[in-house]
Structure 1
Amino acid sequence: MSTTSYPVKGQCQCGSVSFVLKAVPKMVIACHCKKCQKLSTSAFSITCIVPTENIEIQGELKETRRVADSGNVNLGKFCPNCGNRIYQVNPAAPEMIKFKAGGCLDDTSMLVPTTHVWTSEKQSWVVIPDGVQQFEKQR
């Protein structure tokens, strides 16, 4: 159980972009898709689903766009100086963001995934704990 007290502050690797997470994320997801493996340069990425009113972001951001398998547009925002991905959003549903919290928060104790997606593409050595929700593809 997390002992995190809110708000939680954080910043990108170079400190040019800072943020304040004001409340518990709605969901913490580990995504094992090949695109997230490339993005995180790891076996999976950690994403917090956060209502936009629960996060404040300061600093200049650049963006990338791609179309997900679902057909939804995936707009990614990142620091133009260090390249850290800060969040992703579907422009058709801007009230929720996919905050790429990773190691960028001062307190990461709440970053325990309750759901794993794209397990069909996960690294064979990754062991998902018993009782944690899993989906072979995006749900």
Structure 2
Amino acid sequence: MTYPIQGSCQCGGVKYRLLNAPTAIIACHCKACQKLSTSAFSITAMVNAADIEFEGEMAEWSRLADSGNTNGAKFCPTCGNRIYHFNPEQPDKIKLKPANLDDTSIIKPTAHVWVSEKQDWFTIPEGVKVFDKQA
């Protein structure tokens, strides 16, 4: 894979450049991520904040996670597309929603978390780490 990779929301109002490879790609099966993705799980690419550049206005929303941490979200105020999540206590880390990338070939989860809430019909591929709750 050659970096940078471009990404954007559905309407193009928010654009970004991922400058380096993510540190991890995680599939989360918790009920909140199922609601977010309107699917069986949500994909997150863990990236260093210094490795991504954003352009365009984003709105923000947050909730308290089961861990007690704040789970913030940045999204396009026009189309509503989630761009990334973050913990305000860890400003150097971003939890990018990589389905927004122009080239999604990097989306190969190496771990599945919250499989205790996984949809029964989904089978986790062989060879990836699995955690009943958060890793």
TM-score w.r.t. the length of structure 1 is 0.95
What does residue 137 of structure 1 align with?
133
**What are the equivalent positions in structure 2 for 1:1-139 lying under 5 Å apart?**
4-102=1-99, 104-139=100-135
Does the residue aligned with 1:48 lie in a helix, a strand or coil? strand
Q: Report the Cα distance in structure 1 between the residues aligned to 2:35 and 2:75, rounded to whole angstroms.
A: 15
Q: Mark the runs of 5 or more structure 1 residues left unpaired by the alignment.
A: none
Number of residues paired by the alignment?
135
Q: Which amino acid aligns with 1:118?
A: W
Does the residue aligned with 1:125 lie in a helix, a strand or coil? coil
- Structure 1 residue runs of 4+, over 3 Å off? none
Q: Report the Cα distance in structure 2 between the residues aligned to 1:105 and 1:65, rounded to whole angstroms.
A: 23
Encode CA deviations 1:12-39: one digit per residue, 9 max, x unaligned: 0000000000011000000001100110
**Higher share in helix:** 2
Q: Mark the runs of 5 or more structure 2 residues left unpaired by the alignment.
A: none
RMSD: 0.6
Encode CA deviations 1:3-60: one digit per residue, 9 max, x unaligned: x211000110000000000011000000001100110111111100000000001110
Q: Report the Cα distance in structure 1 between the residues aligned to 2:16 and 2:90, rounded to whole angstroms.
A: 21
Does the residue aligned with 1:37 lie in a helix, a strand or coil? helix
Percent identical: 59
Encode CA deviations 1:74-114: one digit per residue, 9 max, x unaligned: 11100000001101110001100100112x11111111000
Q: Report the Cα distance in structure 1 between the residues aligned to 2:106 and 2:98, rounded to whole angstroms.
A: 10
